[in-house]
Amino acid sequence: MIQERYQFWLTSPYFDNDTRSEVAGIKDKKEIEDRFYMDLEFGTGGLRGVLGAGTNRMNIYVIRKATQGLADLILEEGEEGKKRGVVIAYDSRRLSDRFAKEAALVLAGNGIKAYIFEDLRPTPELSFTVRHLKAQAGIVITASHNPKEYNGYKVYWEDGGQVPPGRADQILAYIKGHQRWDDIFPLGEAEARDKGLLVEIGEEIDSVYLSKVKELALYPELSRTKGSNLSVVYTPLHGAGNMLVRRILTDMGYSVFTVPEQEEPDPEFTTVPYPNPEIPTTFDLAKKYGEAVNAHMLIATDPDADRLGMAFRTPQGDYQQLTGNQVGTLLSYYLLSQKKKLGILPDNAVVIKTIASTDLADLMVKDLGVQIENVLTGFKFIAEKEQEMEAQGNGDFQFGFEESYGYLAGHFVRDKDAVIASLLLAEAALYYQEVEGRSLLQVLEDIYEKYGYFIDDQISITLEGKEGREKMVKMMAKLRETDVKFFGGIPIECIDDYELRKGRRMISPLHSYTLSLPQSNVIRYSFQGGGFVMARPSGTEPKIKFYFNIRESDPEQLPNTLERVKKDLLELIED
């Protein structure tokens, strides 16, 4: 099977000369196996992989096949689905613009209208635009914060959220049902435009989207009159956030300095090892400029501007980077407490977060009299829960976040949104600075003093190829086979296995229970007194991730406790 695929890609005239030449240049048997032993998996919301020729790589032919699968699903909706069409956005990565155009022309070849942004735009604006134009679906070409060798393809449905598992399975079934690679022919661009099946969009969407973001401000007048007192250094990390993040902050009155070396799109991401705002070195240039202009806050967005990282100036004059959990906790606290103060917090207010995100938020949100919902890892589940609440009328979404630097407020976007987060963070920092005389770091310390000190960390083990996949399977099997009662000396209260959808209480009274969340290959160990360890193979990368959230009454003990927990976990998964 591998050799057949390899020979087909090597010889078929359907593939362009560059593709066949690349395939011909692969001499290593293991690389041939890795490129052709499987089709790049259409998983949680779409595709993500290394760029290159082959069935297990990102290229125009994989894009065509995935888009044909989406087209087949839309054709089920009849003429109405074809007319409503699909919105397509893309970021600054290698071949993103070409992949976007290729997807649009495959849709056009099926008689489905495609709206394509004239230039790179943030993923959350794509989500907004699907809702705003009442489109049937959306596509965004991005690999988010992955290394430069990667690109990806995410699919959204009519609610503006990433396709949930059920829809994704339908698209996957169509993709698998389409056995051939060489019978998908995109419509010519000129013909697609003439037929009204390819339509460019841009500023007319930007202005409506930004007006909605501005409506989320709780104290717009404070921003307009005092915003220049808060100086922000911003880096888009060579990605799609530059125009809209800078525009929203300057429009609202903030003083913004953009890192010049990282301002322009660059698919090589030459100034950073990875374009990921979670990584401390990402802020090196921003810190240099922050110190030069004495900025209060540094913010960074990833290439498709759905994730946001932040560092805040300490009293000593350096910058402390906050984790996604800390930013999510701060924004939850700011929005809920201020809405309560203003008398605009609904009685049925809800915060939604993932099971990988800090238990601190659960304690705090409940104490503020607000309901909190926990969903599976992946922001699409937050958006799906918001959509469900809206449809059933049983809760009013106020804020959602995940530990991996994703945040959302408002009802007009169904994905994490760094444009919204940048505005809310700036306003929160300004409010505490100008009204209460405190910094965000002081507010966070007050939260810790009230609810307990938490530290979070993550270990990500990369296991590439077929052998890596098999090793991940063995690791998860070993965890399922082992009765763990302690990590780092902390007693485990519950073990939840989302693959089996069963939980077990490990301390008295012992009992088993059924989990309500959908099936997912995740095991979560909840500590007595708060905090957890969680194991989860990634759905989009060749990695297995371990999440740590540790609680202590004494903050001095946190690093040592964390290291003990990590040591026990790593010893458990060793061969």
As a whole number of angstroms, the distance between CA 533 and CA 84 comes to 44
Helices 418-431 and 324-342, axial angle in degrees (round to 10): 60
Question: Which among 144, 223, 404, 526 is annotated as catalytic?
Answer: 144
* Cα four-point dihedral sign 164, 169, 170, 174: positive
SS3 of residue 470 by DSSP: helix
Contact between 327 and 425 (Cβ < 8 Å): yes
Q: Where would I find the beta strands (DSSP E) of 359-506?
A: 371-375, 396-402, 406-408, 453-462, 486-487, 490-497, 502-505
Q: What are phi and psi of 277, to 5 degrees?
A: -70, -5
Closest CA to 40 of 22, 61, 20, 23: 61
The conformational region for residue 378 under phi > 0 = left, psi -120 to 50 = alpha, else beta, is left
- How many other CB atoms sit within 10 Å of the CB of residue 162? 26
Contact between 108 and 192 (Cβ < 8 Å): yes
- How many other CB atoms sit within 10 Å of the CB of residue 529? 13
* Residue 144 known to be catalytic: yes
As a whole number of angstroms, the distance between CA 424 and CA 440 comes to 12
∠ CA 445-556-549, nearest 5°, is 70
The H or E element that residue 526 is part of is strand 523-527
Q: For residue 120, give the amino acid letter.
A: L
Contact between 545 and 456 (Cβ < 8 Å): no
* Cα four-point dihedral sign 73, 74, 79, 82: negative
Contact between 417 and 307 (Cβ < 8 Å): no
Q: Which residues of 167-177 are buried (b: 16+ CB within 10 A; e: fewer)?
A: bbebbbebbee
Q: Where would I find the beta strands (DSSP E) of 56-143?
A: 86-90, 114-117, 137-141
End-to-end CA distance of the chain: 31
DSSP per position, 6-29: HHHHHH-TTS-HHHHHHHHT---H
In terms of DSSP H, where are the helices of 313-358?
324-342
Closest CA to 386 of 362, 410, 363: 410
Retrieve residue 530's tokens: 């708060």
Catalytic residues: 144
